[in-house]
């Protein structure tokens, strides 16, 4: 039996896949299998994987016609060892630090009640140089007067924190197989930059997710994946609408989802727009700062009027 099944979707990742595979082989934790699903690459990615496979028996390669990263993840999971304890969806352009698997496996081994754990990444560019980017450890939850940030030493990441501002990449997350089977696979109808959050929400709805504030992964930002990030607001809007109308939720779950949505719209987003306004102002970007402040005020005012009138808006996320 393999303890960890690693599933890596790969499309046109020839510039990065070899480094990724080397970082997996260098793990201090050795009881793993890695299934690379080549999604119709034409840049020699599959041939590079085959080269590594000759000296790495734990590595497997599957090929498919281009079907997208979500289908590739689901196919890799479908052929993984059904007896493995944990599943790790690792992107082809990221890198693991040597103790990443050991730390996350130990964490879940010691806490059988936890469904999933995720860590903190460092960020690098296409050349491996460090860059600044946001933290998945930024977790907002409702508070009596608005929202508050969870401290790093508070590991539980509740459903509300994910629904508020879920920014957890598969590459930093280790899932208990039983929890993944209970939650279901990635939804291939959701689309990019919503499919992972949708899965984490399903895991959190029926289980527990923890945050480990250790930097164990190098996440890469480059021209290909950075361009796709522009679609995040649209995909998240679609995701939230689906959750707000989900027929499979119980009555209590529907009430919870709607309440968290209302708090997100009326408390979190005004705060975020205000903070973004401050960021622009600190850089001397007066026009952008004013636009953010006005958007914050408008959203807060809309929410306040709706509360007074006994109704709450279900408008666009952003």
Q: Which fold has domain 4-237?
A: Spore Coat Polysaccharide Biosynthesis Protein SpsA; Chain A (3.90.550)
pLDDT band at 314 (very low <50, low <70, confident <90, very high): very low
Question: pLDDT tens for residues 246-258?
Answer: 999 999 999 999 9
CB distance 296 to 274 below 8 Å: yes
pLDDT at 315: 42
Question: pLDDT tens for residues 36-95?
Answer: 999 999 999 999 999 999 999 999 999 999 999 999 999 999 999 999 999 999 999 999
Closest by Cα among 308, 312, 279, 314 to 293: 279
Structure tokens, 203: 């895991």
In this structure, the number of other CB atoms found within 10 A of the CB of residue 219 comes to 20
Residue 150 has pLDDT above 90, yes or no: yes
Separation CA 9–CA 62 (nearest Å): 10
116-124 sheet: strands from edge to edge: 59-64, 32-39, 4-10, 86-89, 173-176, 116-124, 209-220, 95-96
Any bridge partners for residue 122, and if so which? 218
Percent share of the chain, pLDDT over 90:
75
Domain range list for the chain:
4-237, 246-308
pLDDT band at 299 (very low <50, low <70, confident <90, very high): confident
156 phi and psi, to 5 degrees? -65, 125
Indicate left, alpha or beta for 65 from its phi (over 0: left) and psi (-120 to 50: alpha).
beta
Residue 191 has pLDDT above 90, yes or no: no
The model scores a pTM over 0.85: yes
CA distances from 257 to 107, 146, 202, 212 (A): 29, 17, 12, 25
- Three-state DSSP at 95 gives strand
């Amino acid at each position: 039996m393999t303890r960890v099944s690693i599933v890596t979707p790969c499309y046109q990742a020839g510039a990065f896949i070899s480094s990724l595979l080397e970082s997996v082989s260098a793990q201090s934790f050795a009881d793993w299998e890695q299934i690379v699903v080549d999604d119709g690459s034409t840049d020699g990615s599959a041939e590079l994987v085959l080269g590594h496979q000759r000296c790495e028996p734990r590595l497997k390669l599957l090929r498919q016609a281009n079907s997208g990263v979500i289908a590739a993840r689901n196919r890799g999971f479908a052929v993984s060892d059904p007896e493995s304890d944990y599943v790790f969806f690792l992107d082809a352009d990221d890198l693991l630090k040597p103790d990443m698997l050991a730390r996350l496996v130990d964490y879940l081994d010691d806490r059988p009640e936890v469904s999933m754990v995720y860590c903190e990444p460092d960020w690098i560019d296409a050349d491996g140089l460090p860059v600044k980017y946001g933290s998945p450890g930024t977790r907002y939850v409702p508070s009596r007067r608005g929202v508050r940030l969870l401290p790093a030493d508070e590991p539980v990441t509740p459903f509300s924190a994910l629904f508020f501002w879920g920014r957890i990449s598969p590459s930093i997350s280790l899932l208990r197989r039983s929890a993944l089977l209970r939650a279901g696979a990635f939804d291939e109808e959701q689309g990019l930059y919503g499919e992972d959050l949708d899965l984490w929400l399903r895991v959190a709805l029926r289980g527990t997710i923890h945050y480990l504030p250790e930097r164990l992964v190098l996440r890469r930002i480059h021209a290909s994946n950075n361009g796709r990030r522009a679609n995040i607001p649209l995909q998240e809007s679609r995701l939230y609408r689906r959750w707000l109308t989900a027929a499979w939720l119980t009555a209590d779950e529907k009430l919870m989802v709607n309440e968290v949505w209302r708090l997100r719209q009326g408390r979190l987003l005004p705060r975020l727009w205000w903070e973004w306004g401050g960021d622009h102002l600190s850089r001397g970007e007066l026009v952008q700062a004013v636009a953010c402040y006005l958007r914050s005020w408008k959203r807060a005012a809309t929410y306040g009027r709706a509360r007074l009138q006994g109704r709450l808006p279900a408008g666009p996320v952003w």
